[in-house]
Amino acid sequence: MNDQIQDFFEKSLVENHIDNELYQTYSVKKGLRNEDGTGVLVGLTKISDVVGYKIQDGEKTDDYGSLYYRGINVEDIINGQRKEKRYLFEEVCFLILFGYLPSYDEFEKFKKVLSDRYELPPHYLEANILGFPAKNLMNKLQQEVLMLYGYDDDPDNTSIIETLNKGIDLLAKIPSIVCYTYQTKVHYFDEKSLVIHHVQKDLSIAETILSLLRNDGKFTQKEAEALDIALVLHADHGGGNNSTFTNVVISSTGTDIYSSVAGAIGSLKGPRHGGANLAVKKQMENVIEEISLDATDDQIKMIINRILDKDFNDGSGLVYGIGHAVYTLSDPRSKMLSQICEELAIEKGRHQEYLFYKRFGEIAVQEIYQRKGIHVCTNVDFYSGLVYNMLNIPSDLYTLLFVVARTVGWIAHNVENKLYSNRIIRPATKYVGTLKDYQPVEKRK
């Protein structure tokens, strides 16, 4: 930072300090959170329900977590579909978008609607991706989503049907954009061979991602199943999560769907939201390097306490992958991802690594409770990075895969808000500064 700018900034901190007590004086909820950590209600939804605690007699009580899509427990969806092992994410997309489970014929038609839209517009790849490599792929994806605005004959049409139509088009195209932008990045900046595969309409979205990322285009059934389940678990998480709320706030102004989704991607980029899985990956790499996979429980306790004491990892005092804003006793997504993670680890010969993760998570939960007296749990980010790593998915793409999955949730909440609220979202802020007289610049000291 420029020294002069630094001086201005430090003076501004003195001039404009807001005392923490003022938040209580004016009943302002920091981060839209109540005193007990629960979220301030800002809307109504029938899309998904995130259950992590109970409210009894006005008090928050810890509970085991559940996640529901359109009233159906996600655990039931995954366990009930494991035999088919394909297109589970697509079925969840239909459920989230339209609110009911499709018949066989309806589902076949919906899959075709999606696969028919896999292809990017003519010459789009050459004109917008191959010729414009970017080091930050989340920023690049924002650009590409906005670029698709120019390929839409009626981009500013925000009717319900057009929002759905354009949203489904984005849902189908974002996976290939993600893969192609990555291949372009490593070609230009890492000087690796450029490998571009054409999309295949007979593949699911999970299969499409694996086939586009790999030089030989091949993958195992278990690999595709693992990625499919990971996408399902990231598809939606209520209307209050940051990126979904950002998308709805932007959409409430009446702007186009491309702007709304691009804004949501920007929100998801942050390490407090979609980027958390990368923080877990780095943390666990550091831990394993320090104490090895053969570490005893006591050694794991020691390293966790060092993290909590800000004496290890990034000095933040946070054990990444442990704890959640809503879930207390358990995160159902972590539980389900842990199951497929172990199956994949066995197939990959990395079961010892999985077992280390599991021990680390269990001990971290215990240590945090002993030190702070609060119930926490492993969250979905704790295992997602390990799953992606075993799928040979580059870390650059971890957060982008979150975008691939969460796009359907953004579209559904966008549509729901248009249907049943349809007002610009405009919360208020309280001015707590002092009133001052204006003085011409020549009279200022």
Output the 3-class SS for 235-302: CCCCCCCHHHHHHHHHHCCCCCHHHHHHHHHHHHCCCCCCCHHHHHHHHHHHHHHHHCCCCCHHHHHH
Range of the domain at 335: 276-390
| Pair (237, 315) in one structural domain | no
| Pair (123, 142) in one structural domain | yes
Active-site entry in 234, 256, 381, 413: 381
Domain-located, residue 224 = yes
pLDDT digits (tens, 9 = 90+) for 347-376: 999 999 999 999 999 999 999 999 999 999
Q: Which stretches of the chain score pLDDT less than 70?
A: 1, 81-85
Tokens of 91: 């079925």
**What's the number of domains the chain is made of?**
2
Residue type, 280: V
Domain-located, residue 359 = yes
| Pair (259, 195) in one structural domain | yes
| Helix ranges (DSSP H) in 42-159 | 74-81, 88-98, 104-115, 124, 137-149
| Pair (93, 223) in one structural domain | yes
| Pair (288, 265) in one structural domain | no
pLDDT recorded at residue 384: 94
Q: Is 105 exposed, middle or buried (0-12, 13-18, 19+ CB in 10 A)?
A: exposed
| Pair (280, 267) in one structural domain | no
CA distance 303 to 308: 9
Domain-located, residue 369 = yes
Domain-located, residue 194 = yes
Residue type, 209: I
pLDDT recorded at residue 29: 83
Q: Strands of 72-73's sheet, edge to edge? A: 48-56, 59-69, 72-73
Residue type, 239: G
Domain-located, residue 438 = no
**123 is known as an active-site residue:** no
| Pair (112, 147) in one structural domain | yes
pLDDT recorded at residue 274: 86
Q: Nearest-CA neighbor of 220 among 207, 229, 232? A: 207
pLDDT digits (tens, 9 = 90+) for 77-102: 999 865 556 899 999 999 999 999 99
Domain-located, residue 69 = no
Domain-located, residue 434 = no
How many other CB atoms are found less than 10 A from the CB of residue 354? 21
| Pair (118, 259) in one structural domain | yes
8 Å CB contact between 114 and 172: yes
pLDDT recorded at residue 82: 56
| Pair (265, 286) in one structural domain | no
pLDDT recorded at residue 85: 65
| Pair (148, 106) in one structural domain | yes
**324 is known as an active-site residue:** yes
Active-site entry in 237, 324, 331, 413: 324
Tokens of 225: 């199943």
Q: Any idea what the CATH number is for the domain that residue 313 is in? A: 1.10.230.10
Domain-located, residue 300 = yes
| Pair (230, 307) in one structural domain | no
| Pair (238, 325) in one structural domain | no
Q: How do beta strands 48-56 and 72-73 pair?
A: unpaired
